[in-house]
Structure 1
């Protein structure tokens, strides 16, 4: 197994790190304050648009879209994109600078892979240009949405339109003033086989009957200016050609979307964890307690060592999953995708928590990114499927694979 990044990846990492050092880290606190002090907290600050223009000029744009979507994206494999996504993850808001932030990445992948020519022209092109943002509406407050077959939002065909009724929450991206369209998952046929009831449909934010009820906090954070919303759909009518990939294809579309999306979150969380470790190392080397630097304390050294080991383990598992996705496809790599989705968020929670502890009160404050990073990591233990669902499915797959292997064994004489 080759553990070295190829020349293209290494060159892009150097350019991205240079951009982060020059353009992003120096304005991190300025950006956060501009959001906090804005007249409208859901309005993207002007500084973000300036950074996006610089990223485009630097050729660091749409890095997430792989080879099959050339020339729409950078044409990178999952393995090539992984370390770049990790670098972006070191600053929670920075992925947007490079047009690589959720939920837009997943929505763009859906439109690129499954969208009609009209859908791509209307929505994908402005998303790829970074001119608009989008939202993804799947989770519902009244049902256990970890089992997506529970979703009750109705998408009914009436003539040349679909009529949508239901309530969603934690609709990622829907609070932002530049969010112009949602991809909504609901049921077009309540009587069809279990995994053929669901469909996905495009709903412009300004469609009559769409009501953004309230912003939803995650661990006390509202994630301004992007946000997560509770959204009510009351007899929302959209043209029939807004349906994506046909009726009953919602699960197929979701699986095409969630494979890369899950691993992108893991990549970003490794970046969060690595930064938390770097900050911890700097902190303990300079902070004096009980007459000597914290770095002299044995328990601190052991924690630092443990943090390093956990990050390296998760990084290697992420890269292995990305490589298998590239070689054999998402379906064949499903066990590794599930494994890293279980491992990376929990790892990031532990590492960031340890860094907060070493920073004392400052670690919990708004002056450092650690608390927001922790909230993000803890939330991802639920987003795109909770830990327990992935563990249940992974365990089921492994048991079935072992049983199949036993059945195929040739008895010895």
Structure 2
């Protein structure tokens, strides 16, 4: 009986997640389009000046002063990563990733979709130490954008493919978290790192003692965020660490479920659109589309468009043809290929990693061109394939 209740909760959470991510994707698209319009209008100086404005506070020994852009990327995006961590934990414990048989196909496909884009980028940027660090930029799928495109097709796409895409995107996010922790960490400050470890142990103790109230976790989470920020590890990883300590069990509405529900709308309709608005602003007067042929943006664009679809579909096809995995129920190989193409929509996480990978302003701007071009082409082609896939169904 308890297992059935957990299963029902997992299904409800997945349905709500798909609906909200899809609608949040439309808001994110609008925010990105608005940023591009403003960055190429007379309002551009005010837009860029606002993002570069420094804000901060002093509270005893705590002294923080960052630009508006950094507050969005290092502060608000910690809540995005907290939600990502909660979703990963729920899916692994009770959801689509809790059964090994259900993990094999999307897990292997996600791995192919992370590795091949990185290899394409590295091949195009070999011998260029200034841009080589951007290899991970085309490795991530933007679940909000991708599900938003899928939602445009309604019932033409089997629900199993939406679940498949969601599982791949969640695993992509997990891979991105590991990549950020391992490869995009600045010089470590051991005192702050030790303090963060102590706070993390306190959070684990709260979990072990079955504390169901959320406020102690969130209060310690703020302290953890500050210590991680000061330690040299990217501050958003504090959100993931906090998520892993939130209890999954406890009453009819467990703490993890309550926090995930509370975060969904602010993240989907405020935080990620604000991130998109702050990071997608690209002035074509400064960096034109001709820059797309430079190695870094070309590596990003081709990594997203070619690397993602070939990695995801190639691995999926190999597993299905070998009999090691079954295709998503009710889906043809053409539809599966269409979803693999959609995996090349890498907006949010790609822009985020791009901002971490480079300190050179021109490379960051060129990265935006690559992300926008690769994501847009992937979205349009994926939409076209899935709209016509029924006529070519196997």
Q: Normalization by structure 1: what TM-score? A: 0.25
- Structure ranking higher in strand proportion: 1
Higher RCO, 1 vs 2 (CA within 8 Å, ≥6 residues apart): 2
- Structure ranking higher in helix proportion: 2
Q: Normalization by structure 2: what TM-score? A: 0.26
